[in-house]
Amino acid sequence: MKRALILEKMEDGSVLNYQNIDLLNLSDGEVRIKVSYTGINYKDRLSVDASSKVVRKYPMVPGIDFSGIVVDSKAPDYSVGDQVLVTGYGYGTDHPGGYQESVAVKQEHLIRLPEEMTLKDGMIYGTAGFTAALSVDAMEKVLGNLEGKKILVTGGSGGVSSHGVLILHKLGAKVSVATRSLEHKEYLESLGAHEVLLFDGLLEKRRALSTEKWDGVLDTTGGEALGNILTEVKYGGIVCTSGNLSGIRFESTVFPFILRGITLKGIDSVMVDHTIRNDIFKKLATSWHSENLGRTVKNVISFNELREELLNPSEGVGRVVVDMNI
């Protein structure tokens, strides 16, 4: 038996409760992970709202990312005692996720935790840190060395944007952050923001080509602002977009692309190639690691506190990490 936090669909919504459930036998190519840490992502909070339709089948154990130790293996590439990490691949929405004491995982969905990274740090990064890192990696492929480059980050104090600021600052970029309010200006500056701007300024209509401002953009919001941002990207620059908090539609012309040669790069963290995952987390563990990583954490809670935090979020900014050992 194991303990799990299970989401069930009801006629008038959904219900979330702890339950004891049976351990299932492993299939060939699977391992069983004793979960050490998991976290609360934006998608996890959406999952407890049935109207969001994030969860595709019920009952479901939420938790889209988790880290832990292999305790049983029917996979040739992993042995008992290996420290591993899981993000994406539909865990927590299509397959039982990290909000349980142990999880059966296909070996192709695992990455081995870099030796320089702790299980806790793996979940401080989680899906948000991985998504931000994918964006930064795409920027480097287009812009080369990011030192001194002017980079705009949208999303304020959100998870992806916070990690984006942290990584970009580590790489020497001059980071401007667009936020809905200046309430968290000090927090963003502590992560390395050079400048904090009000997001509303990005909603002001631009000409088809405006003054060139940004070498690169890490966009987490989408919507109308994205169309305006495209007009301000420098020749040969890049915009990496990974979210839709401000909407799913934007308006643009072909001019930024055919007259300035900019790149618009979509960032997906769910189905990323296994080799790329390993490379990105290796960078996060070494050359991209910041001593200020802990500043992106709002709180560390126990598994027993997880249900209440999901249903009644605590105040503050930063990621909630769940320590399954407390």
Model pLDDT for residues 148-207, shown as the tens digit of each residue: 999 999 999 999 999 999 999 999 999 999 999 999 999 999 999 999 999 999 998 899
Q: Based on the fold, state whether residues 148 and 76 are members of the same structural domain.
A: no
Among the residue ranges 185-189, 288-292, 316-320, the one predicted with the least confidence is 316-320
- Between CA 81 and CA 86 the distance in angstroms is 16
Residue 187 lies in a domain: yes
Q: Based on the fold, state whether residues 170 and 244 are members of the same structural domain.
A: yes
Q: How far is CA 30 from CA 26, 51, 72, in A?
A: 6, 32, 9
Q: What is the pLDDT of residues 112-142, one digit of tens each?
A: 999 999 999 999 999 999 999 999 999 999 9
- Between CA 40 and CA 244 the distance in angstroms is 18
Residue 193 lies in a domain: yes
Domain count, the chain: 2
- Residue 18's CATH number: 3.90.180.10
Residue 278 lies in a domain: no
Residue 122 lies in a domain: no
Q: Based on the fold, state whether residues 157 and 261 are members of the same structural domain.
A: yes
Residue 271 lies in a domain: no
Q: How far is CA 222 from CA 44, 128, 132, 150, 230, in A?
A: 20, 16, 15, 20, 11
Q: Based on the fold, state whether residues 255 and 297 are members of the same structural domain.
A: no
Q: Based on the fold, state whether residues 39 and 152 are members of the same structural domain.
A: no
Which pLDDT value is given to residue 256?
97
* pLDDT score of 13 more than 80: no
Q: What is the mean pLDDT of residues 22-40?
A: 95
Q: Based on the fold, state whether residues 14 and 55 are members of the same structural domain.
A: yes
- Between CA 226 and CA 86 the distance in angstroms is 30
Which pLDDT value is given to residue 89?
95
Q: Based on the fold, state whether residues 262 and 299 are members of the same structural domain.
A: no
Contact 136, 218 (CB under 8 A): yes
* pLDDT score of 9 more than 90: no
Q: In terms of residue numbers, what domain contains 40?
A: 2-113+293-323
Q: Based on the fold, state whether residues 132 and 108 are members of the same structural domain.
A: no
Q: Based on the fold, state whether residues 160 and 103 are members of the same structural domain.
A: no
Local confidence band at 257 (pLDDT 50, 70, 90 cut-offs): very high
CA angle, corner 116, sides to 111 and 119, nearest 5?
60
114 upstream amide cis, omega within 30 of 0 = no
Q: Based on the fold, state whether residues 68 and 198 are members of the same structural domain.
A: no
Which pLDDT value is given to residue 205?
87
Residue 288 lies in a domain: no
Contact 87, 65 (CB under 8 A): yes
- Residue 172's CATH number: 3.40.50.720
Local confidence band at 49 (pLDDT 50, 70, 90 cut-offs): confident
Which pLDDT value is given to residue 156?
93
Nearest to 246 by CA among 219, 217, 206: 219
Residue 118 lies in a domain: no
Q: Based on the fold, state whether residues 250 and 306 are members of the same structural domain.
A: no
Residue 274 lies in a domain: no
- pLDDT > 70: percent of the chain: 100
